[in-house]
Homo-oligomer: A and B are copies of this chain.
Amino acid sequence: MTAYRAAVIGLGAMGMGMASSLVAAGIDTAGCDISEDARNAFAQAGGRAAGTPREAAKDADAVAIVVVNADQVASVLRGPDGVLASLAPGSVVLGCATMPPDAAQSLAAEVEAAGGLYLDAPISGGPVKAAAGKLSVMASGAQAAFDKARPLLDAAAETVFALGDSPGPGSTMKMVNQLLAGVHIASAMEAMALAIKSGLDADTVFKVITASAGNSWMFENRVPHVLENDYSPKSAVDIFIKDLGIVLAQGERLDFPLPISQTAFERFREAKDMGLGRADDASVIKVYQRDGGFTLPGDEDT
């Protein structure tokens, strides 16, 4: 029996965190990214830097693909330098991007046709939890896929929700979570904007709401960015345009109106139209500021 080997494709904030937590758990881990800087940083953190997905996936028991969307997963899998060019039969691919459930099913079929296993495994928790090996994974797939992924999941995740025995439910669950997360961010900004416009002190509002029935995980997490006038991207506006876009596409597919998600999506789109696509998602409050002409915390200092 040889030692368990893992690969992580995509060394952005989440992928680098996950790959580092695998290394910290003693797992022999290859990391691959199109950015040479990211590959070098991972090598310095004790990982093996791989130049292509094919090289990273060679001899790996589990390959986690931690990229932005389904199209990027597909391009990581395919072609002469892709994961499927070297994936050993019986090894598992974890699709960690947020994507439509039917895209997860189609990618799974492609991996299975090549002799691999597939775990529909979107992740959440943010970069800090990723680096600490404390991600949440919303996972579905065959028992064999779960079994093969287990050492990787044990090292990378605090919580693994097992949501079904085939691909699809993992991505559906993540999509539902992102619906709520996106709506809660946008409504946190609508509420803070109304509060400030109506003359309340922003710090006081934060203190009261986080102790009241109006609280949400996102309110508590994102409103401090507004209070500290820090719109450097912890998570960008573009991410929720993508994720709420997946939600709305699912609504279209099911012919099922999702008016609150639609309205929140439009707020993110307006932020992007203002040039804030790559800024922190708390920047949605600047859409309200444009409409309402009030002073945000920190504005008076600049």
Q: List chain A positions with a Cβ less than 8 A from chain B.
A: 101, 124-126, 136, 138, 159, 161, 163, 168-169, 172-173, 175-181, 183-184, 186-188, 190-191, 193-195, 197-200, 204-205, 207-209, 211-219, 221, 247, 250-251, 254, 256-264, 266-267, 288, 291-292
Assembled-state Cα–Cα distance A18/B176 (Å):
38
Contact yes or no, A198 B250, CB < 8 A: yes
Assembled-state Cα–Cα distance A190/B200 (Å):
30
Please tell me which one of the listed residues B126, B180, B207 contacts residue A187 in the complex, with CB atoms under 8 A apart: B180
Residues of B within 8 A of A163 (CB): 200, 204, 208
Contact yes or no, A188 B180, CB < 8 A: yes
Residues of B within 8 A of A205 (CB): 173, 176
Q: Given A177-B213, A183-B183, A184-B187, are A169 and B260 neighbors across the interface (CB < 8 Å)?
A: no
Assembled-state Cα–Cα distance A178/B191 (Å):
9
Interface centre among A168, A247, A257, A267 (most CB of B within 10 A): A257
Q: Chain A binding site: helix, strand, loop or mixed by DSSP?
A: helix
Contact yes or no, B138 A219, CB < 8 A: no
Assembled-state Cα–Cα distance A3/B219 (Å):
44
Q: Given A173-B208, A184-B184, A208-B161, are A258 and B194 neighbors across the interface (CB < 8 Å)?
A: yes
Assembled-state Cα–Cα distance A168/B246 (Å):
42
For this complex, 12 residue pairs linking A to B, each with C-beta atoms less than 8 Å apart, are A173-B195, A173-B205, A175-B198, A180-B214, A180-B219, A183-B187, A184-B216, A214-B218, A257-B291, A260-B260, A260-B264, A263-B263
Interchain nearest-CB distance for A217 vs B (Å): 5
Assembled-state Cα–Cα distance A291/B184 (Å):
23
Interchain nearest-CB distance for A214 vs B (Å): 3
Assembled-state Cα–Cα distance A204/B247 (Å):
19
Residues of B within 8 A of A204 (CB): 161, 163, 173
Contact yes or no, A211 B159, CB < 8 A: yes
Residues of B within 8 A of A209 (CB): 176-177, 180
Closest to A159 in B: B211
Contact yes or no, B183 A200, CB < 8 A: no
Residues of B within 8 A of A217 (CB): 212-216
- Kindly list the 9 A-B residue pairs having the minimum CB-CB distance in the complex, ordered from nearest: A180-B214, A216-B216, A177-B214, A263-B263, A183-B187, A176-B195, A215-B217, A256-B292, A172-B198
Contact yes or no, A254 B159, CB < 8 A: no
Residues of B within 8 A of A197 (CB): 254, 256
Contact yes or no, A250 B218, CB < 8 A: no
